[in-house]
Structure formats: C-alpha cells, structure tokens
Structure 1
C-alpha cells in the first residue's frame, strides 16, 4: 500500500460521498455541501490510494489565535496504518504558531487525539445548533 498525501481543496463529490459514508457520517448524504465545505476551508490535507480518496483533514482559522479542525476522516479499511496520525501531525506542524487548536471528537476517538497532544477539558463543553 503506497499512500500519497496532497494539499488540495479540489475534491469530487463522489470521492467525498464515498469517504464520508464509509464512516457513516451524515455529511456523505450532502456531497455538494461537503465539496463546498472543503473549498471554503483554510487548508485540506488529503490521503490517497491511487485515485481513491481514503482520508482527509480540514481546518478553519483566524490565522492568529485559533485554528479549528473541522474534519478528520479515514476510510475504515485504512485505519490503523498511521494515516490519521500523519494527517493530524502535519496539520499541527503547519499551525504550530497558532496557540489554540480546537476540535470536537466522538467519545470513542478521544484517546487517539490525546496521543496527538490534545487534552479533554471537563470544564468546557462542545455546543451545537445542527440540522445534521
């Protein structure tokens, strides 16, 4: 398996749909919106196996104080090979001068992010207004 990593926002709706639905994310049912979300992101770092999009991480930032990592997704067939680690570590390096790095994790993935240097704050709660 030879994984190629690319910085790109040019992602097809079909690739995004397949990737998001592979992890049962509702976003996969809205591939045009997902495509626009990637295009509007500050940066998108992607992982490819040939022509197949198998992972991505995106960011939004004010470029001074805070960066928010909105999406990190790796196709289940490729999990456990260090792809998520590579995506996260690269993003953390790119934004090393930004003091506040934020993401929201599902509970079962918190350990993965803790190993990448993120901490869980018991005095802070993610808040949502969402139709997804």
Structure 2
C-alpha cells in the first residue's frame, strides 16, 4: 500500500459520499453539497490509496492568525496507520506561522488530537449548534 497526499479541492460526488458514509457522517448523504464545500474550503488535503479517497482534512482560516480544522476523517479500514496524523501534520506545517489552530473534538477524540500536538484549554468547552437535515 502506497498512500499519496494531495492538495486539491476537486472531488467526485461518489468519492466524497463513500468516504463520509464510511465513518457514518450524515453529510455523506449530501455529496452534491460536499463537492461545493470542498471547493470553498481554504485548505483541503486528501489521502489516497491509488484512486481511492481514504481520508481528508479541511481547514478554514482568517489569513493570518487563526485556522479552524473542520473535517478530519479516515476510512475505518485505514485507521491506525498514521494517516490522520500525517494529515494533521500537513495542516500544522501550512499554518505554522499562525497564532493558533483550533479543532472542536468529541471527548473520545481528545487522545488522538493530543497525540497530534493539540492541547485542551483548561478554561474552554467546545460548543456547536447543528441543525437536523431531513
């Protein structure tokens, strides 16, 4: 297995649908919207096994101080092979001169992000609002 990493914003609906649904993310049911979203992100780095999209990380930024990791996902059968860590490292490198890189993570994800160099702020709690798509 030879994993390659690409800095691209162009994906097929099927590639995105397959990746997002592989990790049971509901946004995978809207691949047409995901195609547009990928074009609008400032940073999209993807991982490929041949022609198969197996992971990606997406970030937004303000151009100078703050970057926000919005998506980080790796197909379950490829997890545990450092692909997620490589994707995070590539974002760290891109934003190395920024003051901070922010990620909102669920409790069960904290150990992974700490392994990647993130530190949970003692005085902050992640908050987000989602709407339910029908």
Is TM > 0.5 for Structure 1 vs Structure 2?
Answer: yes
Partner of 1:69: 69
Give the aligned CA root-mean-square deviation in angstroms.
Answer: 1.0
Match in the other structure for 2:20: 20
1:127 aligns with 127
CA displacement 1:50-74 (0-9 Å, x = unmatched)? 1110000011000111000100000
Moved over 4 A (4+): none
Number of aligned residue pairs: 132
- Worse overlay, 11-20 or 118-127: 118-127
Distance in 2 between the 1:122 and 1:80 partners? Answer: 28
Q: What TM-score do you get using the length of structure 1 for normalisation?
A: 0.95
Deviations 1:11-43 (A, max 9, x none): 111111100110111111111111111110001
Deviation at 1:122, TM superposition (A): 3.6
Residue ranges of structure 2 left out of the alignment (5+ in a row): none
- C-alpha deviation, 1:120, in angstroms: 1.2
Question: CA separation in 1, counterparts of 2:125 and 2:26?
Answer: 22
SS at match of 1:77: helix
| TM-score normalised over the length of structure 2 | 0.94
